[in-house]
Chain A
């Protein structure tokens, strides 16, 4: 069987043609890429034509594809308490491949509505209250949302006791009712909201972004690229050979961080606060990128760039000049060793900062039994591997030192980033394309992904 996989990104439309084979799962026959076109199907067709031409004779390949073009999937999240239902709604939206554009908690105000309508998200994910819990805030917010522009689809995933009322109040506008993202404080359940977001993506958003034509022609429905990666990360993790791992996908505008793994019994024994952590988790940083976001990245990751430059004996103003150059010309690639080194520092700083935000924190609390640890978020310190993906990391940047730059955060808490992980590289940047192939050949795509990861 041959599989033609295409990913439409915001800058590049990339594709690969695979063939199932017993040895490595999927064999790479050819690959192609072209700048993403204003009318998305154009670039897609160019890549497809190139791949099919190389394919020669035989049955037409199965087509699978994903898209993060035109800013991806924009979701605003609404919850009741910031640390509970809002946190659960955010996590659910991120796991569905969304970019969070804004967040709201407690009661929506007229001012919030004005802000939402000024730059409407694709979806408003509306949560609040555990099942059997608070309904008063949800009622209020449902009435407020009657004034939300119909361009934004509402996905309700809050207290099930209020679902009927929400359907009644908002029934005459685009609305999906899903399972509560937090039916119980100890048990976040993002699956229902994730599925509803995926449905809305297919039914409404794909149509709006000129992708319906491609659905008709290929007979295949796309997924948002980060959702494809999220599901693939889960599948790679379930295989077990990687152990517990994190995956970094660093691009020109953003840095996606995925992690997969459950706490060990020893880690479980540490007292914890806040929402229980999901086995597979995704976060995305919109200010940490290599080109479009180079300037904000250099600013946000200053602690990392300074330390990494000093370690390599590089001048600080050299990096500032390089950042200005790539911000002005996002297509710019390093031309010599010095520029390669500066780009490497920027890349390591981005993933260092992104990992520090993804990772949990441990704080030392003094009790009558002496200092005791209290954890919030995911503890990645004992993770076995970190997989680096994305064009900028594929050149083999050594990222592990970047995770050790900030052992403590600004409040003196331990940053639970990987401390002794094996660094693996997706040198050919095939993981997103294999993630698409996973939907039609799961076992083969996992085997192919694992076999393509290399140590630096």
Chain B
């Protein structure tokens, strides 16, 4: 069992609450200390919560198509505010319409996210990746 703390939330003016609740339940059962900020979360709220709780990762959701605008600059803001080693995951309907998944992934990786997920993803796969990434991060310390 992991005792890492992770911060969850739906970014921007997005009020899709259902997937967020599913993520909270899933990662809690997976053994994480989950800090769920709910819907309509700003970049600074994610960062504030991560600093205060000593979180190892921030998992950002975006469902309403404005993800690109909302998510841009989060990595820089983390660095600026002293979170220089935090993992950033992002997932959901990140752009409007049926954009090419590979292009979207490229775009968000370039923004500084460590992992990018489409709307339909097996959460077990995400959990495996998260465990690996956190282990790698801990070793690097």
Contact B15 A85 (CB under 8 A): no
Q: Is A410 an interface residue (CB 8 A)?
A: no
Instruction: Kindly supply a per-residue 1/0 record for chain A positions 153-189, scoring 1 wherever the CB is within 8 Å of any chain B CB and 0 otherwise.
Output: 0000000000000000000000000000010110000
Contact B54 A366 (CB under 8 A): no
Q: In angstroms, how far is the closest chain B Cβ from the Cβ of A334?
A: 48
CA distance A341 to B109 in the complex (A): 65
Inter-chain contacts of B42 with A (CB < 8 A): 273
Please, which residue of chain B has its CB at the minimum distance from the CB of A128? B52
CA distance A371 to B28 in the complex (A): 32
Interface centre among A81, A84, A374 (most CB of B within 10 A): A81
Q: Is B25 an interface residue (CB 8 A)?
A: no
Among the 9-residue stretches B33-41, B120-128, B130-138, the one with 4 or more Cβ atoms under 8 Å from chain A is: B33-41
CA distance A273 to B14 in the complex (A): 13
Inter-chain contacts of B45 with A (CB < 8 A): 83, 273
Using known A-B contacts A81-B48, A185-B49, A185-B53, determine if residue A132 contacts B5 with beta carbons closer than 8 Å.
yes
Q: In angstroms, how far is the closest chain A Cβ from the Cβ of B122?
A: 27
Inter-chain contacts of B64 with A (CB < 8 A): 367-368
Q: In angstroms, how far is the closest chain A Cβ from the Cβ of B74?
A: 16
CA distance A80 to B51 in the complex (A): 8
Contact of B14 among A83, A129, A367 (CB under 8 A): A367
Q: Is A271 an interface residue (CB 8 A)?
A: yes
Please, which residue of chain B has its CB at the minimum distance from the CB of A131? B53
Work out how many contacts link A and B, with CB atoms closer than 8 A. 64
Contact A367 B49 (CB under 8 A): no
Contact A369 B15 (CB under 8 A): yes
Contact B15 A135 (CB under 8 A): no
CA distance A81 to B3 in the complex (A): 22
Contact B54 A372 (CB under 8 A): no
Please, which residue of chain A has its CB at the minimum distance from the CB of B40? A271
CA distance A325 to B61 in the complex (A): 59
Using known A-B contacts A271-B38, A271-B39, A273-B40, determine if residue A134 contacts B13 with beta carbons closer than 8 Å.
no
Inter-chain contacts of A374 with B (CB < 8 A): 40
Please, which residue of chain A has its CB at the minimum distance from the CB of B17? A271
Contact A365 B53 (CB under 8 A): no
CA distance A82 to B51 in the complex (A): 11
Contact A365 B52 (CB under 8 A): no
Inter-chain contacts of A273 with B (CB < 8 A): 40-42, 45
Please, which residue of chain A has its CB at the minimum distance from the CB of B65? A368
Interface residues of A (CB under 8 A from B): 80-85, 128-130, 132-135, 182, 184-185, 271, 273, 365-369, 372, 374
Interface residues of B (CB under 8 A from A): 3, 5, 13-15, 33, 35, 37-42, 45, 48-49, 51-55, 64-65
